[in-house]
Amino acid sequence: MVLLALVLTIGCAGPLHPRVFPPPIADFSVSPEQGTAPLNVTFSDVSSGDISNWHWDFGDGQFSNDPEPNHTYTTAGNYTVSLAIMGSRGSDVETKTEYIKVATGVINWEETASYIGQDLVVEGKVVNSYYAANTKSQLTFLDFHKPYENYFKCIIWGSDRVKFLKEFPPNPETYFLNKRVQVTGLIREYPKGSGVPEMVLEEPSQIKLAEE
């Protein structure tokens, strides 16, 4: 009776199946994704699975076998990056097309939304200007697009205006109107969360006429 029960128990257990381990899956992130040359980028491996070998292709003719390398891009361009991984259970490749965007030291005003939070030189034509004399802040606006809403602009606070009046007579809004300029400074987002870029000019040295 005991032997019969043992046989029935074994019979009901079913066949044994070998455990299958999944192959590795390649993935990665970088910081930063964009900036001006020379741009130093940190590459982070976020792949899954058992991995023993890494091969990075940075897209500029340079390579690395480090798990998480740093690489400096010295020339402007959009770079496609690939990560190939290999382990005991297989291999995989992840490619991100035009993932790293490297600009020259001067960017066009139309690109500014992609560089919020960075100090850059921005070039463009001032197509509209305005001095809000009757407001509390007395801002001076230099606009690069008509209409100006949701596009890059430069502002000068009323407290800084006197410095610009001395440097750019009769006033900055007249001096720069319909002229191509280069402005240097932090591209910030305003209002916060809007994705709209702007630059605050605190010193006259931050703006100059661009060479034609």
Same domain, yes or no, for 156 and 88? no
Q: Report the pLDDT value the prediction gives residue 1, as an integer from 0 to 100.
A: 44
The residue from 103, 127, 151 where one domain ends is 103
118 and 87, same domain (yes or no) = no
Q: Would 59 be classed as within a structural domain?
A: yes
Residues 144, 97 share a domain: no
98 and 80 in contact (C-beta within 8 Å)?
A: yes
Which residues constitute the domain of residue 69? 28-103
Determine, yes or no, domain membership for 190: yes
Q: Please report, for residues 137, 155, 178, 182, 210, the alpha-carbon distance to residue 143 in angstroms, rounded to integers and kept in the order given.
A: 17, 9, 10, 13, 16
DSSP string covering 73-123 = E-S-EEEEEEEEEEETTEEEEEEEEEEEEEE-SEEEGGGGGGGTT-EEEEE
Q: What is the pLDDT of residue 76?
A: 84
- Note the pLDDT tens digit of each residue in 5-34: 444 444 455 566 677 778 999 999 999 998
Report the pLDDT value the prediction gives residue 17, as an integer from 0 to 100: 66
Cα gap 201→208, rounded to integer Å: 11
* Residues of the chain below pLDDT 70: 1-17, 212
